[in-house]
């Protein structure tokens, strides 16, 4: 059974989500504060975390927790729950390593659908025996079973969303992927600006291990493509 952690200081909302997700067959644990959640996560990580931004006295406690969780696991799916539907919050959450975000006025079926989509993605790893397990494109190696990415044999810690976006782009170098194709391949439903911030974050992560990294090209008005270099085949 999949274990979901809900970190939300408003007791009524926490109870509401807990109840709804249990009905969907998940094991759910609720936490009212960041320290309480963090203590539990240090013992055992959930399979997915739903994290509210404002937690009691901590105005940005959810952002802090996202960063802490991401340091504990590069691939744990994290959804930011926001009462504040501002682009700033969304971009900030994604920048800290969240996979997705939802505003609190989203319906419970919508929440359940987004959670199911994230789980489908983490399950993809073991589920498709005929899929290409190791994708190698020049200096890039993607391990689809372990969900790891290496660039020139150095590990690039990608979130699940980022991993599947890179996978989508790198599988067919030179082919332009538009927003819809990227969303489909990464099983996410987001807007243009969210895709843009994911791509920026991916580029920064690759550039952290290789400042010359320039393989994800923006094709204005169309989408993104993975560029291959002439000497890729030799690597």
Cβ proximity of 186 and 164 under 8 Å? yes
Q: Which region, judged by CB under 5 A, interacts with Ca ion, from 52-60, 112-120, 149-157, 208-216?
A: 52-60
Q: How far is the CB of 102 from Ca ion (least distance, A)?
A: 13
* Distance, CA of 14 to CA of 11 (rounded, Å): 5
Chain residue at closest Cβ approach to Ca ion: 54
Toward Ca ion, which CB reaches closer, 84 or 146?
84
CA 88 to chain centre: 17
* Distance, CA of 116 to CA of 110 (rounded, Å): 10
Q: Which region, judged by CB under 5 A, interacts with Ca ion, from 35-43, 45-53, 131-139, 173-181?
A: 45-53
Q: How far is the CB of 214 from Ca ion (least distance, A)?
A: 40
Cβ proximity of 109 and 135 under 8 Å? no
Q: How far is the CB of 55 from Ca ion (least distance, A)?
A: 6
* Distance, CA of 173 to CA of 180 (rounded, Å): 18
Q: Which region, judged by CB under 5 A, interacts with Ca ion, from 46-54, 92-100, 114-122, 128-136?
A: 46-54
Toward Ca ion, which CB reaches closer, 83 or 208?
83
Show the tokens assigned to 75.
């691939």
Q: Which residues bind Ca ion (CB under 5 A)?
A: 9, 52, 54
């Amino acid at each position: 059974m999949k274990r979901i952690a809900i970190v939300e200081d408003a007791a009524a909302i926490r109870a509401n989500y807990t109840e709804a997700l249990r009905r969907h067959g998940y094991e759910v644990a609720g936490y009212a504060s960041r320290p309480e959640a963090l203590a539990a996560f240090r013992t055992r990580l959930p399979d997915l975390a739903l994290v509210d931004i404002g937690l009691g006295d901590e105005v940005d406690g959810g952002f802090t927790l996202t960063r802490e969780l991401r340091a504990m696991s590069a691939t744990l799916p994290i959804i930011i729950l926001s009462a504040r539907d501002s682009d700033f919050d969304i971009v900030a959450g994604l920048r800290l390593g969240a996979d997705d975000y939802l505003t609190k006025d989203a319906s419970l079926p919508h929440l359940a659908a987004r959670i199911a989509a994230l789980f489908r993605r983490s399950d993809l790893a073991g589920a498709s025996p005929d899929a290409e397990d190791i994708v190698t494109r020049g200096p890039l190696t993607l391990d689809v079973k372990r969900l790891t990415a290496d660039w020139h044999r150095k590990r690039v810690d990608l979130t699940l969303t980022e991993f599947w976006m890179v996978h989508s782009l790198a599988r067919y170098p030179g082919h332009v992927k538009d927003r819809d194709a990227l969303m489909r391949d990464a099983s996410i439903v987001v807007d243009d600006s969210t895709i843009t911030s994911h791509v920026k974050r991916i580029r920064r992560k690759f550039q952290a291990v290789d400042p010359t990294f320039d393989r994800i090209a923006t094709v204005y008005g169309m989408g993104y493509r993975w560029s291959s270099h002439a000497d890729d085949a030799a690597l």
